[in-house]
Chain A
Amino acid sequence: MSVLRPLDKQPGLNTATILLVGTEDALLQQLADSMLKEDCASELKVHLARSLPLPSNVNRPRIDLIVFVVNLHSKYSLRNVEESLHHVDTTFFLGKVGFLITGAGREGHCSIHRNTVVRLARTYRSPLLFCDLEVEGFRAAVAQRLVRMLQICAGHVPGVSALNLLSLLRSSENPALEDV
């Protein structure tokens, strides 16, 4: 089975690639469009996938950032993400993976508890973002954040690396010393 490795390919010149993994195709497409609308000095490439592993027959550029999208309304999306996580190499989790949670706005429809995803993000030591992808304004805001994160993970921002960003994103509620 193919495992995604972060640095096995050479980076494209001035190119940054993000991979969005999730079961909600429409939401992913909308998020991709918002991201591409953002102003960015580098070329952006957005890949969408329902789950990993990706088919090996396609020639794709080096992936700089993977964002797993989980919808709190469906347990299936969480299970899908958990299974896809096995196909990601461990070195990816040094700042090049992020979790994006959608659907937290409508408490009544939530079938997954918020703590589950918080624990998931904590296990994988990756940043966790909450956003209601169905609202245009929030989507644009999170798209901006993701574009900035992508630029850093692709190495386009001098002086900041993905690992650096990871330590900076650790909030004070989740300090580095607390987990062994």
Chain B
Amino acid sequence: MEKQPGEQAAAEPADSGAGGGEGGSPQVAGAQTARPEDRLTLLLRLRAQTKQQLLEYKSVVDANEEKTPEQIMQDKQIEAKIEDLENEIEDVKIAFEIKKLALDRMQLSAALKKNLEKINPKTSVLMDNMKHVLKLNKLIMKSHQESWDLEEKLLDVRKKRLQLKQASESKLLEIQTEKNKQKNDLANMENSDKIKTIQQNLQMEIQITTVIQHVFQNLILGSKANWAEDSAFKETVLQLEKNLTMI
């Protein structure tokens, strides 16, 4: 590795006396009057330089103040610390990228603004585009509003329908309960004992009357009388034929 380092210091100062890159060495005659200004600008430049260099040194000192711990830590702690530091780095990187993007955006918008303020025929296309965009945006907003209104109406109609449905449901329920009540009452009535005894009595009477009818029929037939001749007699016989169970 011990190569022959031939170092040549080509130190020719290219110093242009007047600040701001005004090339050409200051001439003797004209330099007398220009020297105080040169000196002043030189001093100001030196001031700016020393400020910047001081800033750099300060930042290096600040960066070096954060020391890594010397003591021996466990593996897991070290890993956790490494992860924390890496996360910090990632956060700073992301923040930086975002700031860069924001700067770019600002630059772009500034350039765009400047461009717009310039000559008209070139920017007319841009202005037309922007106006078109604005028009479309207004249309979009209007149609959004309309669709919102329509949706509101639809919602109202649906609500009403729901209410009506619920009302009809309750009514039908009422009707059903009433019918059921009637049926139950009827069944109750039919099942009650009173009616049964009445029915039995009725049956008994009908049977008795039928027996009496048969007796009278047989009486008349047995007497061998001609009941067809007398109309009143005929009516009585025919009445006896009536089947009382059918009534």
Contact = CB atoms under 8 A, between A and B. Distances in A.
Interface of A: 7, 11, 13-14, 25, 29, 32-33, 36-55, 58, 60, 83, 91, 154-159, 161-162, 167, 175-177, 180
Given A39-B16, A44-B14, A177-B93, A55 B52 contact: no
A49 B7 contact: yes
B96 A156 contact: no
Nearest to B13: A43
B79 interface: no
B56 interface: yes
A156 B11 contact: no
Nearest to B17: A41
B13 A55 contact: no
B70 interface: no
Measured as residues with beta carbon below 8 angstroms from the partner, the interface class of chain B is 35 or more
A14 B49 CA distance: 7
Interface of B: 1, 3-16, 19-21, 23, 42, 45-46, 48-49, 51-53, 55-57, 59-60, 86, 93-94, 96-97, 100
B60 A7 contact: yes
B5 A11 contact: no
Given A43-B14, A54-B7, 5 more contacts: A14-B45, A36-B10, A38-B14, A42-B49, A161-B59
What 10 pairs across the A-B complex have the smallest Cβ distances?
A: A155-B53, A155-B52, A43-B13, A158-B48, A45-B11, A39-B23, A39-B21, A156-B49, A49-B7, A46-B10
Contact of B10 (A7, A42, A48, A54): A48
B96 A167 contact: yes
A7 B60 CA distance: 9
A176 B97 contact: yes
